[in-house]
Amino acid sequence: MKKISPVFLPLSFAMVTLLACATFQKFTSPSEDLVIGRSETTSGNVSTIKREKDGMVMVRVMEGPFMMGSNESDETERPEHILTLKAFWIDQTEITNAMFQTFVQANNYQTEAERIGKAYFLDLSTKSWQRIEGIDWQHPRGVESSLAGLNDYPVVDVSWNDAVAYCAWAGGRLPSEAEWEKAARGTDERIYPWGNSAPKENLLNFADVNLDLSWADNKINDGYQLTSPVGSYPDGASPYGVLDMAGNVWEWVDSWYDVYPGGDKATSPDFGVT
């Protein structure tokens, strides 16, 4: 599964060793008390419920097989192999700053970046990664920045442990890589969530003409220099109706970076595999 590189932001990463994903993955597999008694809404092929804890809309990914990986991509996605997953629910969008703030206030939670006091930051003035004091989820665009006007934007500068804590509070867990990939590409072996056509400005937020970096695509204007509000590109939805599965920010999963069966590099065994 090829995932379009997200916008590389002037944001920090809460991990203190290697650069890692800037946000946590969508919540999945709600416990029964979140589902029982709640009405499931179906529109076309998309089934949704709304989580009570944070108001997140979740979509159902049906049980069955799908093709994971790609033989035509780099070695981290080889070899293609069929996996059969149990049905699961996954968040329709990335977690927003407003949702994460609810979690922080309810638990008096402090992220790892806040405890460490510094994190990595892509400085657009120097166009280089810097480890800077004072960068965290509440200061996502520099030490003098705030969350003003960013309530509907995806939360960033959270570590894998922060993501796990959020999901546990919400009543679930991080998805495995296989669950994430199936939710993103469906069962027809498409390259991108929307199909096989090349990325366009109505499909995702990624490094474009608004971002003055050597690897940005200056032929596309997605409307944002940095992140965009979650769900801003409905035309880029996956077959299950999941949004933001390409671009915007990186997302955490609960699988180790390890080999596929018979491959050189990839991921570990996954939750939900039958």
Question: Are the CB atoms for 258 and 181 separated by under 8 Å?
Answer: no
Q: What is the pLDDT of residue 261?
A: 72
The answer to whether position 147 is within a domain reads yes
Q: What's the pLDDT score for residue 10?
A: 29
Does 8 reside within a domain? no
Residue 21 lies in a domain: no
- Which CATH number does the domain housing residue 36 bear? 3.90.1580.10
The pLDDT value recorded for residue 46 is 83
**Looking at residue 265, what is its pLDDT?**
55
Tell whether 80 is covered by a domain: yes
Q: Which residue's entry shows tokens 């960068």?
A: 135
Domain assignment of residue 11, yes or no: no
Q: What is the pLDDT of residue 17?
A: 26
What local confidence, expressed as pLDDT, does residue 90 receive? 92
Backbone angles phi, psi at 96, to 5 degrees: -90, 165
Identify the domain containing residue 145 by its residue range.
32-267
pLDDT at position 273, please?
A: 41
Is there a domain that residue 17 lies in? no
- Type of residue found at 171: G
- The DSSP result for the chain, as a single string, is ---PPPP--S---S-SSS---SSPPPPB---HHHHTTS--EEETTEEEEE-TTT--EEEEE-SEEEEES-TTS-GGG-S-EEEEE--EEEESSPPBHHHHHHHHHHHT---HHHHH-EEEEEETTTTEEEEEET-BTTBBTBTT---TT-TTSBP-S--HHHHHHHHHHHTSBPPPHHHHHHHHHTTTT-SBTTBSSPP-TTT---SBTTS-STTSBTT---S-SS---TT--GGG--TT----SSSSS----SS-EEPPTTSSSEE---TTB-
Ranges in the chain, pLDDT < 50: 1-25, 28-37, 266-274
126 falls within a domain: yes
Number of domains in the chain: 1
Residue 274 inside a domain? The answer is no
Q: Please report the pLDDT score of residue 35 as a whole number.
A: 45
